[in-house]
Structure 1
């Protein structure tokens, strides 16, 4: 399984007859909501504790029963809106109290509610759960070098070491990544931002990045392959800002739910969503219940085909203590970090499950807000490497494992480059050359080539298998050689190309030589 720098805040005051499409998202291109998104000012934000998730007084997430076995359809979305309409009408809830209407990956709503309304909803047989929303500084950046300062001036293009390590840059043209973060620098010259789809779910802010974290993530995924700045893993892909964290890096779980719900209603097959955010699992039901709703929302979207890259976290602990990092699910990849020597990063969370792969996360140079660049550390920086690979290839290859992984199962290092097929050959008693080769992950087909002595290569076969019998020989008397034969011998050379999403993979060393000798009768030749 992604602008205008500023706009006026959009406020839609909805009546009970028209508020069914109200929400807190803000589209920044034409001052109108994108399809199936809504605009609604929220009440004053509550200051969050820097260390612990903070329950937000008066702000709740309500989920409905009978969610159609996680069905995602327009009919289910309509039914969710109708249910919300009915509940607000029956309980006399002010339409302006609605923060988000969930319709796709989640069915329910987020709203500012009184204690009396909460008690009534707890007794409502249409309601599955009602939990208090939580806010947390879910943006975690590490910066081990005090000399690293953001730059607002783009220099000549460089290829960050992490891009090279994962086999990039790859061609991301025509692909799209959705960045659930602090927004993206909407007019950054080194990014192709899909402005019309970009949206903010943070009250009082548009999708532009006032922090820098989201732009850094977007740059690693998809920075343009041009003459300035950096280049991304899936170079020249488009990115969509789905702003779910404010400029201070604080995030509500309800806003992230809304961002995922929005993506599900707008993404296309092959798109990837990046979540370089995390909340601690505390053991308290007041915290863990909204986190479980968030994780269920991700799983529903993943079931629909949306691919997720998620940061493992930076606390040097088991990733199962972090949400949504602990999600172990199809189409969900949780990512740890390593340095440029493939050493596991000292700050990175660990554990398999849920971590599938490790990627570069130390001294990562990428884009920043205000058209600039910055170099920072974190699993937040490792995650977009995976997102870029998934975007360009649809999956990943691996190239070794990290060193010094704290758990007993060293994480594999994800890459976009497959090893070339290893081929071998033999001559049969039927006087034909048979070559076989190792399979290459994700290869759609293999092309077999042959040449006589140092002549031109000619394609002999295209196959999805891993062997080929060549019976059309100039002379059936052959002998297998491990190195090229001498000048006095006639010979054939064979090679195999594997056709993969990242291109054609072949190396000159992977050749098989068959020498032609007179009076030779395989399999024994003099």
Structure 2
């Protein structure tokens, strides 16, 4: 896998007590028209039998029980946090960080390697990890560091981290960062489609800049998230109009930070891990659910809160 080098991604959040509100309303990305002839991608009849597990458990059995997964703890699920690193000793992480990795870039290519120090160079990744742990306390966490101390990173590193998550069959990955580079469009589109068909749920925050498309959050293969200002981690909403699908708490959120500290932060970055934590619960209850099924169950449970 060789994503295109030379472009940078940033999380762009305002980690301050009084940030502005991040909204769900954004214009759809403009796509080039298809000029070639279209042919069926597959001509065999659809198979109607359900896979083992879903046929017996029946997550779509009725509305009254469709949100029973909300009581799960994330047990048996691993969540990858693609970010600035995670402080595994922070109390908010609960000792659930099991591995720290980083992406090394050299001569136009990248490699995911062990990060022996396991440091968070910004605080951003620890904030996301603390939110996920709060919602899915029994989930295991893996950190892949792609950001530098200036809260920026190359798009190539971001792409290699996604590729690693897909290759290692990670159930849920949180990506509270994005790129606005059109040159990364094809690279990210291909990677997130690979993740979708590998049953890897990629949770991606939308850009904090209203009106700007950010990648890979605009793609339908990911679970895209923006912030609302209701101070409840279990209040989340479904937005039927693209490009952002779900809204979660992301305004004035108490989060873990460097040195064992805590701050109040605002941004779509802090909404995304709320959804990632909820999906860890869902995957704990229904480990064989496809991304389509998981999104459907999440949408059906939206607006219910507790």
- TM-score bracket for the superposition, by shorter chain length: 0.5 to 0.7
Q: How has the CA–CA distance of structure 1 residues 134 and 351 changed in structure 2, closer, same or farther, with 3 Å as cutoff?
A: farther
Contact 2:231–2:253 (8 Å) recurs in 1: no
Structure 2 residue corresponding to 1:180, chosen from 82, 85, 92? 82
RMSD: 2.9
| Match of residue 177 from structure 2 | 277
Partner residue of 2:59?
Answer: none
Structure 2 residue 247 is the aligned partner of structure 1 residue 358: yes
- CA offsets 1:149-176 (integer angstroms, 9 cap, x no match): xxxxxxxxxxxxxxxxxx9785123321
Equivalent residue in structure 2 for 1:369, among 258, 266, 269: 258
How far did residue 339 of structure 1 move? 0.5
Quote the residue 1:472 is aligned against: none
Structure 1 position 133 matched with structure 2 position 23: no
Distance 1:302-1:398 versus aligned 2 partners, 3 A rule: closer
SS at match of 1:248: coil
Aligned to 2:220: 328
**Counterpart secondary structure, 2:211:** coil
Indicate if the aligned counterparts of 2:185 and 2:215 stay in contact, CA closer than 8 A.
yes
Partner residue of 2:36?
A: none
1:215 aligns with 2:126: yes
The 5-angstrom pairing of residues 216-231 of structure 1 reads: 216-222=127-133
Specify whether residues 393 and 168 from structure 1 end up closer, same or farther in structure 2 by C-alpha distance, changes over 3 A only: closer
In 1, the alpha carbon distance for the partners of 2:268 and 2:140 equals 22
Partner of 1:404 in structure 2?
none
Change (3 A) 1:359 1:324: same
- 1:444-459 equivalences in 2 (<5 Å): none
Q: Is the 8 A contact 1:220 1:384 kept in 2?
A: yes
String of CA shifts for 1:209-261, please: whole Å, max 9, x gaps. Answer: 01000000011111xxxxxxxxx111232211011111211111111111112
Mark the runs of 5 or more structure 2 residues left unpaired by the alignment: 20-68, 107-114, 233-238, 284-293
Query: Structure 1 262/314 Cα, relative in aligned 2: closer, same or farther at 3 Å?
Result: same
C-alpha separation between the residues in 1 aligned to 2:145 and 2:89?
15
Equivalent residue number for residue 309 of structure 1:
203
Q: TM-score, normalised by structure 1?
A: 0.40
Alpha-carbon offset, residue 384 of structure 1: 0.6
**Partner of 1:290 in structure 2?**
184
Q: CA deviation at 1:372?
A: 2.3
CA distance in 1, matches of 2:122, 2:303: 28
Q: Does 1:142 align with 2:34?
A: no
- The counterpart of 2:150, out of the listed 234, 240, 248, is 248
Matches within 5 A, 1:476-487: none
**CA-to-aligned-CA distance 1:436-493 (integer Å, 9 cap, x gap):** xxxxxxxxxxxxxxxxxxxxxxxxxxxxxxxxxxxxxxxxxxxxxxxxxxxxxxxxxx
Task: Identify, as 1 or 2, the structure richer in helix.
Answer: 2
Contact 1:174 1:237 in 2 (8 A): yes
Check 1:199–1:143 CA distance in 2 against 1; reply closer, same or farther (3 A cut). closer
* Residues 270-304 of structure 1 deviation map (CA, whole Å, 9 limit, x = unaligned): x2001111112xxxxxx423232022112111211
* SS state at 1:328 partner: coil
Hey, what's the Cα distance between the residues in 1 that align with 2:91 and 2:248?
Answer: 26
Pairwise CA distance, 1:322: 1.4
